[in-house]
Amino acid sequence: MSSVELLPGIIQRQTRTGRLEMAYLVTGEGETPVVLVHGNCSSSHFFQDFMLALASRGRSTIYAPDMRGYGESETLPVDATRGVRDYADDLASLVRQLGLPAFHLLGWSLGGNIAMQYTIDHPESVRSLTLQATGSPFGFGGSKDVEGTPTWPDFAGSGGGTINVEFARRIAIGDRGNDQVSPRTVINTFYFKPPFRVAPEREEMLLSALLTTKVTNGNYSSDMVPSPNWPMVAPGTLGVNNALSPKYLNQGELVTISPKPAILWVHGADDQIVSDTSMFDMGFLGQVGAVPGWPGPEVYPPQPMKAQIRAVLERYRANGGETREVEFQECGHSPHIEKEAEMLRIFGEFIESH
């Protein structure tokens, strides 16, 4: 039974794939599969309203899996030295288990990196790829230009040592409070652009979904190693936050895949998580004085995350691929929630044309 409320019309199922026990949500009865991959500190339940709205168009069956260490899926450690391939391989094992034909794939935030990796490894099975507020193809933190050049040789400033340990502790104790570092406040401050807020009952559902994040070592909580380079921590080898380090994650090869599914990139203009001025990036936090000892913009500038995404998509297009960018105004990190009607229209038209 789900630990998070299921909306009428949403079914949750469990299946054992060749890699792990996975939970997934499903709705709709259309011929064409659509697969939605959630981000970090969330689960498939963040998609419920969007799934129902998409299913109402009558053309698709929509699936939303929980990745390992999130939601109701099995908690297994993440080998960060493979980048996000543990997650992408898990997704591939679910696709095989369900016997899905070629499908439309949407990844949100971390899910965007998972979706890119899946598409790199299995391009023939992807009818279209939608990247919603995706992480950069060059990982999170530790790089300084649109080519993804490392800031330091040991990638200091990325990985498990950069997480907010108090936020992780609040997840572990199931905190449902309202103070500044509570998971509820993080949703309403960073997942959405204030003053946007969902209805109270939906807020409780989303908070419950965030709190399914497993902060065990090797999942959200990750190891780290000391570094002589600012900010004095470098990535370890386990867990999602290390998996996103550019030490292990470089998805620039997306531009060379064949066949090349059409790509839609949608993002909020006011995203504070994936941004060229991200409130979660050590370079930007140093620049604004939130992390002491910053060595300056010549040594450690903020990571140009959106510029990196745009540069990779421009190369994808130059190599014969089709891309489209849509930026939502007055929108943060979650267009499918903050701008549901517009996102539904744009995404629906995109998948129906491919």
Q: Domains of the chain by range and CATH? A: 11-352 (3.40.50.1820)
DSSP string, 288-320: TTSSTT---TTTSPPP-HHHHHHHHHHHHHHTT
Integer Cα distance of 350 and 354 in angstroms:
7
pTM over 0.75: yes
- pLDDT of amino acid 167: 96
Residues lower than pLDDT 50 in the chain: none
What confidence score (pLDDT) does residue 221 get? 84
pLDDT for 152-179, tens place per residue?
999 999 999 999 999 999 999 999 999 9
Sign for the pseudo-dihedral over CA of 309, 311, 317, 320: negative
**What pLDDT score was predicted for residue 120?**
98
Q: What one-character DSSP code corresponds to residue 220?
A: T
What is the tens place of the pLDDT at every residue in 82-126? 999 999 999 999 999 999 999 999 999 999 999 999 999 999 999
Q: What is the pLDDT of residue 1?
A: 57
Q: Give me the pLDDT at residue 277, please.
A: 98
User: Which amino acid is it at 236?
Assistant: G
Closest CA to 174 of 221, 212, 218, 216: 212
DSSP category for residue 105: E
Sign of CA dihedral 105, 168, 22, 199: negative
Predicted confidence at residue 81, as pLDDT, reads 98
